[in-house]
Amino acid sequence: MSEATSLLATAEAWLAQDPDDETRAELAGLVERARVSDDVAVAELHDRFDTRLQFGTAGLRGRIEAGSNRMNRVLVSQAAAGLAAYLLEQAPAGVTPSVVIGYDGRKNSAVFASDTAELMAGAGVRAILLPRLLPTPVLAFAVRFFDASAGVMVTASHNPPADNGYKVYLGGEHHGSQIVSPADAAIAAHIERIAETALVQDLPRSDGFEIAGDDVVDAYVAETAAVAPAPAGSQLRVVYTAMHGVGWETTRRVFETAGYPAPELVTEQIDPDPTFRTVSFPNPEEPGALDLSFATARAVGADLIIANDPDADRLAIAIPDDAVPSGFRRLTGNEVGLLLGWRAAQAASAALDGDAAPEGTLACSIVSSPALRIVAEAHGLEFRETLTGFKWISRTPGMLFGFEEALGYLVNPGTVRDKDGISAAVAFLGLATASAQAGESVAELLDRFADTFGSFGSDQISIRYAELSRIGEVMSGLRALPPTELAGVRVTRIDDLADGFEALPPSDVLRVWLDDGTRVMIRPSGTEPKLKVYVDVQSADGDADERAATVAARLAALRTDLTALVS
């Protein structure tokens, strides 16, 4: 059989088991074009069927289209059946495994969740479907609330509108954290077996799954509101946006239960909308994503902007700043993470009885600010770095707080073992409110952090390549001929994490240390054909303005050199 014939046969076999009218129709059109040797259609079929989506940094995630390398009902059904087989295999004799399933407001999220519930129930797994579209943190909480064997969240988080995804969590000894090795490989093997040996229409289904009651949401709200009850006295004027996602209903209840006044809303973005019509990219990190929030904040004279991404597992904060045209500046993920980490460290110290030493660990990913280590050491706490992703951060023993610079924060590890943009929002709101009542703005709080621990600055460079192979070439070139200096400062050490480093599992990451304490991290993206470079600079010399100027100048010089190095 020729390669072209084999490709067409694979696509036709997929067509025969696709229950979705939309994806079946668009694939049928591609197949017809490929039959007449349309090169574009043939290339598209290769892209869709030469491989299949694998569990990456954030589970399964891709465009909603037909094919094994896309998100669709066939792939989701195979994933659900494979996960069910894994759970049954892992369950002790005589014990029925269980799974709780959540979904957000993206296209096909409810359909994918329903398919998963039916297939789990059909396989003999107790399946519990959350009562309506809800944030990812509620699903992560629900895994522990129900003492479930696993959890599935159908979401693509802050990806483009055409995408959807499938996050998997494990209960029991994993405490509701996202899957890591070797579970991911074992689940993938079951999925592959299902895909090779069974048709989707032949997989057993059942409508005998459960619909969870509101008690799980009520419990999440109560636990999350307890993170930071409102201090007595005057409150801040806050603007909130859900970024067209599912965060507002739950966030409103948390703020209300904690005793905070209702925020001003970015009404255009407050309800779930799978088209994300007001933003080109529904990620609060992206330029322009917070423009409507800035406009609303200017109109009402806000003190603070709180933004969740569409599934509310991330948090963005913006504060007034007359030095920028919008009048508001979004804080970096490191700035928010360091303030929340400082809050956690101070709380641990305040809770001490007598001369007892504080216990607990502050954790962050290897690409997040190294300043968290200094905060931990200053308060007598442990510090731990992990690989990128909350599936690693959440597993830190004795964790009090964890964060990653990509707007992810874990402030209540006893409740949720994943990043949680809602609990982080109420924690930051409590922090900012208490500071304001003491006569200190968030900007002034950041200055006090710099006075206490030194000035830190971060930058990120993303280089997108037309050919995925170019990423490997660049990483190999850096390993073969590493730089000896950057921006005029000597390189003192390079840690290659490819074979593991100290307590870190192997990862395709280079960590470069410079003579002035600067740290540079270079790694491929886990979700896109990009190389990412993270730069962290620090300065303790001079007054606050001089330190800030030094950090800014160093970041600018390093950006120039590093962009040239990896381009």
Residues forming the active site: 157
Write out the two tokens for 270: 């407050």
Sign (positive or negative) of CA dihedral 172, 389, 431, 220: negative
CA 56 vs. chain centroid, Å, equals 12
Residue 154 in contact with residue 116, Cβ under 8 Å? yes
- Written as one string, the DSSP assignment of 271-321 is S--TT-TT-SS--TTSTTTTHHHHHHHHHHT-SEEEEE-TTSS-EEEEEE-
CA triplet 222, 418, 264: central angle to 5 degrees? 55
> Is residue 262 exposed (0-12), middle (13-18) or buried (19+ Cβ within 10 Å)?
exposed
Give φ, ψ of 154 to 5 degrees. Answer: -90, 110
Count of other CB atoms within 10 angstroms of residue 316: 25
Nearest alpha carbon to residue 136 among 156, 119, 118? 156
DSSP letter, residue 395:
T
Nearest alpha carbon to residue 551 among 332, 288, 328, 315? 332
Instruction: Quote the CA–CA distance of 411 and 426 in Å, as a whole number.
Output: 10
Instruction: Quote the CA–CA distance of 17 and 9 in Å, as a whole number.
Output: 13
Could you give the C-alpha distances from 335 to 13, 458, 466, in angstroms and in order? Answer: 51, 9, 33
Instruction: Quote the CA–CA distance of 5 and 381 in Å, as a whole number.
Output: 62
Using the structure block, give the residue that is written with the tokens 């896309």. 70
